[in-house]
Chains A and B, each alone.
Chain A
Amino acid sequence: MIQQRIREKAKELLSKKELDLIIGFGEGTLPLRASPLFIRNPEEADRLIWNSFCENNLATYLHKFNRFKVGLVVKGCDSRSVIALSLEKRFELDRLFLIGVPCQRMVDRRRVKKAVPGEILHAREEGDKIIVKGENFEIALKRDDFLYPSCQACIHRNPAKANILVADPVEEFSLAEAFPDVREFERMSPGERWKFFEKESSRCIRCYACREACPMCYCAECFVDSSNPKWIEKGLAPSDLEFYHMVRAYHQTGRCSGCGACERACPMEIRLTYLTQKLNQDVKELFEFETGIDSDNRPPLSTYDTDDRQEFIK
């Protein structure tokens, strides 16, 4: 069992004192949630859990612990962010120990909440079902019908890099099934696309949860926070909100692992991944590059080659 293997490995690593801490998931305080957990002693290893609610991209926390030797529990997406960060020289991979988990894909708690008739008091996984209980209901939902959009068609569920895999690799989906929200967006006319984007960004409250949840957003000074030069105002004018979301997405080009942490963090349920996934798809088509798959290959926008394709530059 995955959870057991994670605990055993964590216990072993912490006993050998080779690591300062291990970052994984612990029991959350709410149904359908796990919570990032930071442990330093082998006795704490049994607090680590693994289930379909382990939704955070833990690579985000590496910035907080950049002077430590860290063991990190990684899904496919987390591992790709780790590689992308190491390519950007945020840290040396050898101060990390990646405990890789082939990912079963994570359950979208908000979709589950919307599918049941009251507050969920308890939730558990049983095989391919999620059993949710409330005051007057107990419902079994098919797990795979309630996955995060970013997880649904994930084509890199197995960690791209790991010091150890705690389970056998899972079979990957094909590219043909990837990017479902991009397809939906592409089918719209330019006018409809703008309307959609406008409506989504209009709910933004500038809490920057999308930015903070993202492992790739680590600029010492984000463009929205700069006052000299001032690129953007700090209020809620639609043009400022739209500008923020557009630039946030563009800054991810060739760097986004498509984990969906931005969208999950948003308290206003703004859809965000259709933008970043579209860029991911473009980068794949134009440069045959995917974020964090190969630890030697630098992202296309940070390199230059005279053979680079350029027919799309007009």
Chain B
Amino acid sequence: MKWNPAKLEKKDLGAFFQDLMGKYDLYAPVRLTEGVSVYKKIDDPGEVDLSNPNPQKPLKEVFFSQSEVMFRYEKVEKRDRVTSTEDVQRERVALGARPCDIQAIFLLDQVFSGKDYTDVYYLQKRKRTTIIGLACNAPLTTCFCSSMDGGPFVRRGSDLFLIDLGKAYLVEFLTEKGEAFSRNPFFKEVDKADINLANEIEERALKKADASLSVEGIEKRLDEMSESPFWDRAQEKCIGCRVCTYLCPTCHCFDIADEALNERGQRVRNWDSCLSALYSLETSGHNPRPTGRERTRQRLMHKFNYFPKNFGPMACVGCGRCIIYCPANFDIRQTLKEIIAK
């Protein structure tokens, strides 16, 4: 590591957030009600809640919000006037994201700045955001990041990285962008004991993280499975809601709509989901993915076959949200194991 770590006392957190908010738009997990949190722009430092393992909605929302205005238009004195919404006015900080969510941003980068097209809305925010990651001291049993090229202490993608030591956070500076924060008055010097404690915590977390799920060769397996009866059985319990895709840190489909009334309106893009029948319904009335069979197949194929084909890595980071929140207990780990075992 190029830069020495620092320490941030928890009693200083409020003041630290306040300080950040003076210079940046701060995004962090906020508790909406007991057990439910999301990433949100912070208005009051007291809102920030780093106690949940992972907010329901993933970090992707900070860069690619569920509903985003692309531009506004109106007719003024018989002339069209279009107002751009592309610009990001202030520098931003995204704080408290876990390594899985940050790894997912890496995957989204490839989609939104691909060789065929670049997405200005996403990239503007991405360029102007500093990411402060937060290590996962206690991975859950639904977590399988360590099986998906990640891990509870993976620092890749973070500009700064926090490790919860109990009464304080150890702060690591990982990039030039992150190092620029090192002169913050709330960052104190660390001693040897802090470093040792951080190492111990990391070791414990790595031991806890489940790395037992092997998906080696899955891309090839799936190549042979597009017409397999496997999908009929695999999708039976799926009720066709959008929970797994909306809460997925890597899913990135959207639908564009005009919201207009009389002579003014806005073009909006909203998250969309391949698990809904409407997603693939064509104007003619024909639906190339008419049943759950084709739609569940699409979800799995995109993550573990098409995405690797297009970009290299698999489009799953093992955060476990789709497992925890599925109303029907569809467990993607089980489905992956079945595919591999076939």
Q: Do A and B come from one complex?
A: yes
Residues A269 and B36 in contact, CB atoms below 8 Å apart: yes
Q: Is A207 an interface residue (CB 8 A)?
A: yes
Distance in Å from the Cβ of A67 to the closest Cβ of chain B? 12
Q: Is A235 an interface residue (CB 8 A)?
A: yes
Number of interface residues of B (CB under 8 A): 41
- CB < 8 Å: which of B34, B142, B270, B324 contacts A235? B270
**Interface hits, B235-274 → A, CB 8 Å:** 236-237, 239-243, 246-247, 255, 257, 259, 268, 270, 273
Distance in Å from the Cβ of A162 to the closest Cβ of chain B? 23
Residues A268 and B36 in contact, CB atoms below 8 Å apart: yes
State whether A203 and B32 are in contact (beta carbons under 8 Å apart), knowing that A209-B243, A236-B66 are contacts in the complex. Answer: yes
State whether A29 and B331 are in contact (beta carbons under 8 Å apart), knowing that A113-B35, A236-B66 are contacts in the complex. Answer: yes
Stretch in A5-13, A30-38, A284-292, A303-311 with 4+ CB within 8 Å of B: A30-38
User: Residue-by-residue, is A172-213 near B (CB-CB < 8 Å gives 1, otherwise 0)?
Assistant: 000000000000000000000000000000010111110111
- CB < 8 Å: which of A37, A203, A213, A267 contacts B239? A213
Could you jot down 18 A-B contacts, CB within 8 Å?
A: A30-B142, A110-B35, A114-B35, A119-B138, A203-B36, A205-B57, A206-B246, A209-B243, A212-B240, A212-B241, A212-B327, A213-B239, A233-B257, A233-B268, A236-B66, A236-B67, A265-B327, A267-B325
Residues A30 and B241 in contact, CB atoms below 8 Å apart: no
Residues A235 and B35 in contact, CB atoms below 8 Å apart: no
Distance in Å from the Cβ of B232 to the closest Cβ of chain A? 10
Q: Is A126 an interface residue (CB 8 A)?
A: no
Which chain B residue has the least Cβ–Cβ distance from A110? B35
Residues B333 and A29 in contact, CB atoms below 8 Å apart: yes
Residues B241 and A207 in contact, CB atoms below 8 Å apart: yes
Residues A209 and B241 in contact, CB atoms below 8 Å apart: yes
Residues from chain B with a CB closer than 8 A to the CB of A233 are 257, 259, 268
**Interface hits, B142-180 → A, CB 8 Å:** 142
Mostly, the A contact residues are: loop
Q: Is A257 an interface residue (CB 8 A)?
A: no
Q: Is B328 an interface residue (CB 8 A)?
A: yes
- CB < 8 Å: which of B246, B255, B273, B329 contacts A30? B329
Q: Is A28 an interface residue (CB 8 A)?
A: yes
- CB < 8 Å: which of B34, B239, B259, B270 contacts A212? B239
Closest 8 pairs between A and B when the two form their complex, measured CB to CB: A235-B67, A265-B327, A209-B241, A35-B329, A267-B325, A212-B241, A29-B331, A207-B242
Q: Is B276 an interface residue (CB 8 A)?
A: yes
Looking at A211, A212, A265, which has the most chain B CB atoms within 10 Å of its CB? Answer: A212
Q: Is A234 an interface residue (CB 8 A)?
A: yes
Looking at B239, B247, B328, which has the most chain A CB atoms within 10 Å of its CB? Answer: B239
Q: Is B140 an interface residue (CB 8 A)?
A: yes
Distance in Å from the Cβ of B154 to the closest Cβ of chain A? 21
User: Residue-by-residue, is A16-46 near B (CB-CB < 8 Å gives 1, otherwise 0)?
Assistant: 0000000000001110011111100000000
- CB < 8 Å: which of A64, A121, A261, A267 contacts B141? A121
- CA of A207 to CA of B246 in the docked complex: distance in angstroms? 7
State whether A267 and B247 are in contact (beta carbons under 8 Å apart), knowing that A203-B33, A208-B241 are contacts in the complex. Answer: yes
Residues from chain A with a CB closer than 8 A to the CB of B243 are 207, 209, 265, 267
Q: Is A150 an interface residue (CB 8 A)?
A: no
Residues A213 and B327 in contact, CB atoms below 8 Å apart: yes
User: Residue-by-residue, is A212-237 near B (CB-CB < 8 Å gives 1, otherwise 0)?
Assistant: 11000000000001000000011111
Q: Is B278 an interface residue (CB 8 A)?
A: yes
Q: Is B340 an interface residue (CB 8 A)?
A: no
Q: Is A253 an interface residue (CB 8 A)?
A: no
Residues A35 and B237 in contact, CB atoms below 8 Å apart: yes
Residues from chain B with a CB closer than 8 A to the CB of A237 are 67
